[in-house]
């Protein structure tokens, strides 16, 4: 695998993994009632996903311009990390919203 392709794959894996980790941390903050910190961690996860998405968009743009990207297990693995991170972050946002609602109801 050439250096450019490895950079793409590692960008997907690294940013996807960081995003999932931030989303997980957000859930932990919310469980502890630290909703401001949870929101900050979700924002950090969103930024990591933006970085990963930028890597993916660049790859898709090159593909559209006729520069074919060979698909191998590394690329599939990178895409898998990204898609799992997106799903995990979306579910974390919903879970945190529910925890906030429960906390509000308990405070009444």
CA distance 32 to 90: 20
Q: Which two tokens stand for residue 102?
A: 């429960």
Q: What is the pLDDT of residue 5?
A: 83
Place of tokens 């743009």: 61
Nearest CA to 94 out of 26, 47, 22, 48 is that of: 26
Q: Where are the alpha helices (DSSP H) in 1-108?
A: 3-31, 35-64, 73-107
Is 81 a known active-site residue?
no
Q: What is the pLDDT of residue 27?
A: 98
Annotated binding site for Mg(2+): 80
User: What are the chain's domains?
Assistant: 17-107 (1.20.58.80)
Pick out the chain residues at pLDDT < 50: none
Q: List, for residues 70-89, the tens digit of each pLDDT value.
A: 888 999 999 999 999 999 99
Q: What is the pLDDT of residue 68?
A: 86
Annotated binding site: 80
List the catalytic residue out of 15, 53, 68, 77.
Answer: 77
According to DSSP, residue 69 is labeled P
Nearest CA to 42 out of 23, 56, 28 is that of: 23
Q: What is the pLDDT of residue 70?
A: 82
């Amino acid at each position: 695998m050439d250096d450019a392709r490895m950079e793409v794959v590692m960008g997907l894996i690294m940013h996807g993994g960081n995003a999932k980790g931030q989303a997980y941390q957000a859930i932990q903050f919310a469980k502890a009632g630290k909703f401001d910190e949870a929101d900050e961690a979700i924002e950090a996860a969103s930024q990591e996903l933006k970085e990963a998405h930028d890597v993916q968009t660049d790859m898709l743009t090159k593909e559209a311009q006729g520069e074919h990207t060979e698909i191998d297990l590394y690329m599939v693995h990178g895409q898998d990390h990204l898609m799992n991170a997106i799903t995990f972050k979306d579910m974390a946002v919903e879970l945190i919203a529910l925890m906030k609602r429960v906390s509000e109801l308990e405070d009444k």
